[in-house]
Amino acid sequence: MASVTNAHLDPPVDDVANVILNGTYTITGDSFDIASAQPYGEIAKLVGANDVSIVGGEVHSLITNFATNSSFVRPFTKTIAKSALNLTAGVDKVSLLVKLTPHPPAVFTKHSTPVGSF
């Protein structure tokens, strides 16, 4: 099963009414993921205390598979309005939350052209 490692956020950069966040994370597939090209839903977002979503905090929302690479490094820069952070005297924290969800195999159906008159 795929895993997430090296989730990292640099210290935020204060930019008047915004906060600029730079970060990175790595996702890695195992031998089954690589051999089967197992698809995963990949969601990365910035969250506040207790994993509360931050408005505008979505970093990535992708469908990923490991058919061509065994791992991917995902760098990003995100600018968030300070008003979206709901800061309490400057003590609130922001963290990066990354979720990988395996998708079930797809089912493909195809009918032939109808033949005969019965």
Task: Give tens-digit pLDDT for 13-48.
Answer: 988 899 999 999 999 999 999 998 899 999 999 998
Radius of gyration, alpha carbons of the chain: 20
Domain 3-102 indexed as CATH 2.60.40.10: yes
Query: 48-98, pLDDT tens digit by residue?
Result: 877 888 889 999 999 999 888 899 999 999 999 988 886 565 667 889 999
Domains of the chain by residue range: 3-102
